[in-house]
Amino acid sequence: MRNALSGSLVFVLSALMSAPGWASDRNVGEEMRGGNGTVVFVAHDYGFRGPDQIPAGLTTVRIANEGQDLHHIQFLKLLQGKSAAEFRAAIAADSSRLPNWVEYAGGPNANLPGSRASATMNLTEGDYVMMCWIPDKNGVPHVALGMQKALFVRGGKPNKVSQPKPSLVVKQIDYQFALSQRVQPGLQTIEVQNHGTQPHELVVVKLSPGATVKDAIASFEPGASGPPKGQLVNGITGIERGRRIYFTGEFEPGSYGLICFVPDAVSGRPHFLHGMTAEFTVE
Ligand SMILES: [Cu+2]
């Protein structure tokens, strides 16, 4: 299984390297220039505390989880002049999918109670909603329990940019992850690039001994019996195609999985059901 998987990762990686599609590298670099700052948001059950307005540009977002439940921040840029109130109404009507007038803008993912995590990404000017799409034990996404907050991203004063220096790049396509190299133990800064056609996220799961990433996903399903076969540890929330984002995570030796839970644009089913998972070992 692992051999077959790493074989396919190598294939995908070489296909990506030779593909002319990622010509937007320069544009993404351009997009990274601008303001730089760190913003902290506190997540609780079920809401966020933090600033209502932040400057635009390269931003490090830290989440401090003071709740009892797992949380993340998914930034969504509102398009077509839509408001946070309209987003709230859309979610109240159907929390299984996002309206088509939002853009996935990333954020830190899978933050355990008591933990702190961060993600660094470019936030362009506009009106945003930040929300948590992780389901509770009954399968109800936290956003439907009120875990959403309006955020205005406005001009601001451009500062010095300190672009993270990644030790590893993970490329996303529809529907796979490709790692540029082995993950070394210790604190790693990982750059995630979306080369697909749809938004994708990346959730890191530390697998229980002997468990596969599929075992872990099955054990997380609402109503699953038995203990979870892995622990979600970090990652990034959904980003649009052509975008990049960075996060920092601690990797101790062991087996890990990567999962994308974003619902498919066509089937509506989560991307992991389309095969968007990966496994790797840290030695
Ligand atoms: Cu995906």
SS3 track for the chain = CHHHHHHHHHHHHHHHHHCHHHHHHHHHHHHHCCCEEEEEEEEECCEEECCCEEECEEEEEEEEECCCCCECCEEEEECCCCCHHHHHHHHHHCCCCCCCCEEEECCECCECCCCEEEEEEEECCEEEEEECCCECCCCCEHHHHCCEEEEEEECCCCCCCCCCCCCEEEEEECCEEEECCCCCCEEEEEEEEECCCCCEEEEEEEECCCCCHHHHHHHHCCCCCCCCCEEEEEEEEEECCCCEEEEEEEECCEEEEEECCCECCCCCCEHHHHCCEEEEEEC
**What residue segments make up the domains of the chain, in order of their start?**
2-27+164-282, 33-154
Q: Which residue has the tokens 């990404």?
A: 121
In one-letter notation, the amino acid at residue 75 is F
Cβ-contact 258, 278 below 8 angstroms: yes
In single-letter form, the type of residue at position 184 comes to Q
Q: Which residues contact 262 (CB under 8 A, 6 or more apart)?
A: 104, 198, 199, 200, 201, 238, 270, 271
Residue pair 183/170 in contact by the 8 Å Cβ criterion: no
Residue type, 268: G
- Ligand 1 centroid–CA 158 distance in Å is 32
Q: What is the number of residues in the chain? A: 283
Distance 256 CA to ligand 1 centre (A): 18
CA of 270 to the centre of ligand 1 (A): 7
Q: What is the distance between the alpha carbons of residues 277 and 170, in angstroms, rounded to a whole number?
A: 12
Model pLDDT, residue 32? 34
In this prediction, residue 158 carries a pLDDT of: 60
Taking only the tens of pLDDT, the chain with its 283 residues reads 333 333 333 333 333 333 333 333 333 333 333 345 889 999 999 999 999 999 998 999 999 999 999 999 999 999 999 999 999 999 999 988 899 999 999 999 988 888 888 999 999 999 999 999 999 888 899 999 999 999 999 986 665 557 899 999 999 999 999 999 999 999 999 999 999 999 999 999 999 999 999 999 999 987 888 899 999 999 999 999 999 999 999 999 999 999 999 999 999 999 999 999 999 999 9
Residue type, 282: V
Determine the pLDDT at residue 139: 87
Ligand 1 centre and the CA of 24: distance in Å?
Answer: 20
Going by C-alpha positions, the residue among 194, 212, 202, 216 that lies closest to residue 259 is 202
pLDDT reported for residue 24: 34
- Residue 162: its pLDDT value, please? 76
Rounded distance from Cα 192 to ligand 1 centre (Å):
12
Give me the residues near ligand 1 (ion), CB cutoff below 5 Å.
200, 260, 262, 271, 276
CB 74, CB 238: distance < 8 Å: yes
Assigned fold of 33-154: Immunoglobulin-like (2.60.40)
CA of 180 to the centre of ligand 1 (A): 18
CA angle 65, 71, 76 (to 5 degrees): 115
pLDDT the model gives residue 160? 55
Q: Distance (Å, rounded) from C-alpha 196 to C-alpha 192?
A: 12
What is the Å distance from ligand 1's center to 199 Cα?
Answer: 6
Assigned architecture for domain 2-27+164-282 = Sandwich (2.60)
Cα(222) to ligand 1 centroid in Å equals 20
Same-fold call for 2-27+164-282 versus 33-154: yes
Report the predicted TM-score, pTM, of the whole model to 2 decimal places. 0.85
Q: Confirm if 87 and 99 have CB atoms less than 8 A apart.
A: yes
